[in-house]
């Protein structure tokens, strides 16, 4: 009888700990994804944190939310420190792995804690050290107070303020791109895609900023087009004329040579992007980063391993 009571007590304790963890799981995934910009790695961080949480004696913990955030943040910082060498060896340009708009029934849909930054802003965050990135995200995105940051990072409040200021200074004026007008962003993307499809050079010139930069991540892979291998540019392409020439050339090749080419406007990292398929196979995502009425950056993701979470939306056809 005692053994049964003890088992029931342990079972209830485990259920309680799981329920507590699930309450904060959306926040933990959001923090991990915005730190790492890798979907599977973020999910692994959440799973590792959960397993450690279930093994711990949690009764003495006063602030559960802060403790869990501290656990996953430390894991992410360690991961980024070890990932630096891998990313330096990456073939071509490394871009963040895009995150599909979350399923409404997903555990990550708690609106107050779920937040995926745009591809453009995740690229900007690459300027920061792992500690700077963590403090910037918790302060700027999740609105943590400095006394909370001090507890999470075992630092003084003044030290956290200095790190946050250093992060903002590193990002410079680009910090304002953190907040996006979704309607104007969608309108600009559709105008850009139409001008590109029509080959309308004048409209493209009007849309693209003179010092625009295009980044393409193919991960060293290539796409077979009319017997030729089409690979992503290994370095950024700078300037309106160069970017426009590249886009028009690649668009024509893809349109003429990719079998069963079809495209959809999808939500990626909270913003509309263009997802291209060959039949049912995703081949590229194009995202833009606007500043006022001009496009300042274009991001093309064609690495198959970073598109594996995307599926064709048959209802849109």
* Mean pLDDT score of the chain: 86
Share of the chain above pLDDT 70, in %: 86
Read off the pTM: 0.87
Domains in the chain with CATH codes:
2-178 (no CATH), 182-316 (3.10.450.50)
* Pair 185, 272: CB distance under 8 Å: yes
Q: What is the mean pLDDT of residues 25-33?
A: 94
Q: What is the pLDDT of residue 105?
A: 42
Q: What is the pLDDT of residue 62?
A: 83
What are 107-164's pLDDT values in tens digits?
444 433 456 789 999 999 999 999 999 999 999 989 999 999 999 999 999 999 999 9
What are 199-243's pLDDT values in tens digits?
899 999 999 999 999 999 998 887 766 666 777 888 999 999 999
């Amino acid at each position: 009888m005692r053994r049964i009571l003890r088992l029931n007590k342990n079972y209830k304790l485990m259920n309680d700990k799981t329920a507590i963890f699930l309450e904060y799981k959306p926040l933990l995934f959001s923090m991990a994804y915005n730190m790492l910009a890798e979907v599977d790695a973020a999910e692994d961080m959440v799973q590792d944190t959960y397993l450690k949480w279930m093994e711990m004696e949690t009764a003495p913990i006063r602030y559960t939310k802060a403790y869990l955030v501290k656990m996953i943040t430390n894991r992410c910082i360690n991961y980024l420190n070890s990932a630096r060498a891998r990313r330096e060896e990456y073939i071509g340009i490394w871009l963040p792995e895009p995150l599909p708009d979350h399923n409404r029934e997903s555990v990550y849909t708690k609106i107050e804690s779920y937040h995926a930054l745009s591809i453009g802003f995740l690229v900007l965050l690459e300027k920061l050290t792992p500690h700077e990135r963590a403090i910037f995200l918790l302060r700027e995105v999740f609105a943590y107070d400095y006394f909370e940051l001090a507890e999470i990072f075992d630092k003084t409040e003044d030290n956290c303020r200095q790190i946050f200021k250093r992060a903002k200074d590193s990002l410079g004026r680009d910090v304002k791109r953190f907040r996006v007008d979704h309607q104007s962003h969608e309108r600009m993307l559709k105008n850009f895609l139409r001008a590109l499809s029509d080959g309308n050079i004048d409209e493209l010139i009007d849309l693209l900023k003179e010092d625009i930069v295009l980044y393409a991540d193919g991960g060293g892979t290539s796409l077979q087009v009319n017997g030729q291998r089409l690979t992503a540019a290994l370095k950024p392409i700078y300037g309106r004329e160069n970017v426009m020439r590249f886009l028009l050339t690649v668009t024509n090749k893809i349109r003429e040579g990719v079998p069963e080419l079809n495209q959809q406007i999808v939500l990626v990292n909270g913003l509309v992007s263009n997802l291209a398929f060959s039949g049912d196979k995703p081949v590229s995502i194009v995202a833009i980063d606007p500043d006022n009425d001009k496009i300042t950056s274009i991001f093309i993701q064609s690495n198959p391993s970073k598109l594996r979470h995307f599926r064709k939306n048959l209802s849109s056809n």
